[in-house]
Amino acid sequence: MDILMEEVFIEQIIIYGSVLILCAITIYFYVRNKKVISKETEKKVAIAKEEGLFEPISLHPYIDLNMCIGSAACIEDCPEKDIIGIANGKATVINTSNCIGHGACFHGCPVEAISLRIGTETRGVDLPHVNEIFETNTKGVYIAGELGGMGLIKNSVEQGKQAVENIIKSKKVKVPNVIDIGIIGAGPAGISATLAAKKHGLTSVTLEQDSLGGTVYTFPRQKIVMTAPMDLPLYGKVKLYETSKDELLKLWEKVIKAHDIEIKENTKAENINLLNNNTFKITTNKGEEYICNNILLAIGRRGSPRKLNIPGENSMKVAYRLIESERIKNKKIMVVGGGDSAIETVLLLKDTNNVTLSYRKDKFSRLKPKNREKIMGAIEKNTIQVLLNSNLTSINDTSVLVNFGENKPPKIVDNDLVYIFAGGELPTAFLQKAGVEITKRFGYIMKKHK
């Protein structure tokens, strides 16, 4: 009996001991894994700070550390890479300046520890004054979409539609021979507003400085994520949670065509003036004028690229951003500029094309360290040509003319494509000219769980 008990006792010790050892091993690996993840995240944060990617540019997640349980759901849901990581068991932001205000992290957090903010305590962001019906301080001028601070395709579509409904509710008296709404910008907000205007029988004109689709058209990647269905006027519910940029653009084009709507692409609204009879005159870069009873600004927050204003610049071979670089091969390309966008474009194109960079200064300054290192490497290996102290003076069908200042001979460079990165004009000045008041917001909360 004693021997039997002893055997049972030993057996139990072995079982419990094994379980304890297994638990200890699991805990050890769990803790070690957490430490490794923490270290990796801390390293990424340090690099982000060094490269100037840590500070947010626009809408971004703010994590309440007292509420965060480190579930990592926000990381899984974010379609971008390394915006958020886990350090010491809690979520932390990394490359915040790459955040596109998608808000998937905000929706994904199981404990509502994330709010979406614009600006930080030290870095303010200009936000126009809009009331709950999207009207600005100037009566008859409305704002929809990302310009008002709220990003995402679905939100912009919803705001475009609601802004038009609010214009109808405002019951501003119609003026004969005057367009009911002048819509500026044909991104998600402007497209939706245009469709809503048609649906409600209003006359409208939509001006787009670039191409239909707005920021969506310029996405460097195909994948688009929408956290909820969007309600597109004249179409209904669009239940595309994960789609491609092409599919979404095609859908918009189809609805616009089906309803015989014209969107004036490559037409930039340059000025909006209030006239004596409380209507507005929009003047475009093409010298056209439109008199409108109401204005809807759906111009996003990315502004307009600055032009060089040289002969040939309006040719089809000139672009102000790079889209789908992998499709561009065996071309003679001139990239103009010396900032990170120009350098990143050169780096993306140089392996499959013959790339020349023209920069007006004698050296690069304020580049991200990684870009500096890569561009210097490319110059050393002669995989690109760099023309410093140079200015493009004209663009022709098969070449460009580059000037190097007085007493130096100009150079004709064979060319198929030109990319210009000469900075941008922010929408702020345009808005102020239109009489819209703007305030700098520091860490303003755009969306918070209730």
**Dist. CA 188–CA 224, nearest whole Å:** 13
Over the window 320 to 359, marking each residue x when it contacts ligand FAD by CB under 6 A and - when it does not, the resulting string is ----------------------------------------
Residues 349 and 356: their CA atoms lie apart, in Å, by 10
| Cβ 409 to ligand FAD shortest distance, Å | 38
Q: Least CB distance from residue 134 to ligand FAD, whole Å?
A: 12
In this complex, which beta carbon is closest to ligand FAD, that of residue 202 or of residue 431? 431
Interface stretch with ligand FAD, choices 130-138, 187-195, 327-335, 346-354 (CB under 6 A): 187-195
CB of 212 to ligand FAD, least distance (A): 8
DSSP 8-state code for residue 148? G
* Residue 184 in the binding site for ligand FAD (CB under 6 A): yes
Distance between CA atoms of 415 and 421, rounded to whole angstroms? 17
Selected range binding ligand FAD among 36-44, 180-188, 314-322, 361-369, rule: CB under 6 A:
180-188
Contact segment (CB under 6 A) with ligand FAD among 271-279, 299-307, 375-383, 438-446 equals: 299-307
Beta strands in 285-405 (DSSP E): 289-297, 304-305, 318-319, 332-336, 354-358, 385-387, 391-395, 399-403
The answer to whether 152 contacts ligand FAD (rule: CB under 6 A) is yes
Binding residue for ligand FAD, selected from 48, 63, 164, 189, defined by CB under 6 A: 189
Q: Is 283 helix (H, G, I), strand (E, B) or coil?
A: strand
**Residues 212-251: x/- map of binding to ligand FAD (CB under 6 A)?**
--xxx--x----xxx-------------------------
Q: Count Cβ atoms below 10 Å from residue 278 Cβ, excluding itself.
A: 12
If the CB atoms of residues 150 and 400 are measured against ligand FAD, the closer one turns out to be 150
Report the residue number, 296 or 402, with the smaller CB distance to ligand FAD.
296
Least Å distance between CB 214 and ligand FAD?
3
* Buried b / exposed e along 149-159 (16+ C-beta atoms within 10 A): bbbbbbbbbbb
- Buried-exposed string 311-332: b where 16+ CB fall within 10 A, e elsewhere: ebeeeebbebebeebeebeeeb
Footprint (CB under 6 A) of ligand FAD, residues 79-98: 79
Binding residues for ligand FAD restricted to 377-416, rule: CB under 6 A: none
How far apart, in Å, are the Cα atoms of 156 and each of 78, 136, 321? Answer: 19, 17, 23
> What is the distance between the alpha carbons of residues 302 and 209, in angstroms, rounded to a whole number?
12
Who's near 16: CB < 8 A, 6+ residues apart? none
Q: Is 374 in the site for ligand FAD (CB under 6 A)?
A: no
Q: Is 116 in the site for ligand FAD (CB under 6 A)?
A: no
312 vs 427, which CB is nearer to ligand FAD? 427
Contact indicator for 182, 290 with CB cutoff of 8 Å: yes
* Span of 128-136, 253-261, 293-301, 357-365 interacting with ligand FAD by CB under 6 A: 293-301
Task: Single out the residue of 107, 129, 302, 411 in contact with ligand FAD (rule: CB under 6 A).
Answer: 302
Please give the Cα distance from 45 to 54 (Å, whole number).
7
Least Å distance, CB 183 to ligand FAD, is 9
Taking CB under 6 A as the rule, does residue 264 contact ligand FAD? no
- Distances 165 to 33, 152, 169, 198, 392 between C-alpha atoms, Å: 53, 20, 6, 12, 47
Chosen residue from 56, 70, 149, 187 binding ligand FAD by CB under 6 A: 187
Kindly state whether residue 73 participates in binding ligand FAD, applying the rule CB under 6 A: no
Per residue, the 3-state secondary structure of 213-235, as one string, reads CHHHCCCCCCEEECCCCEEECCC
Q: Which residue, chain included where needed, has tokens 């050169």? A: 346
Structure tokens at 413: 């460079």
The answer to whether 415 touches 399, Cβ cutoff 8 Å, is: yes
Applying CB under 6 A, does 151 fall inside the site for ligand FAD? yes
How do strand 354-358 and strand 385-387 relate by DSSP bridges? parallel
Q: For residue 280, state whether it binds ligand FAD (rule: CB under 6 A).
A: no
Q: How far is the CB of 253 from ligand FAD (least distance, A)?
A: 14
User: Where in 197-216 is the site for ligand FAD (CB under 6 A)?
Assistant: 207-210, 214-216
Of the listed pieces 6-14, 143-151, 321-329, 398-406, which binds ligand FAD according to CB under 6 A? 143-151
How far apart, in whole angstroms, are the C-alpha atoms of residue 95 and residue 75? 12
186 binds ligand FAD (CB under 6 A): yes
Size of the site for ligand FAD (CB under 6 A): 37
Binding site for ligand FAD (CB under 6 A): 79, 100, 102, 145-147, 151-154, 156, 184-190, 207-210, 214-216, 219, 224-226, 268-269, 298-300, 302, 304, 430
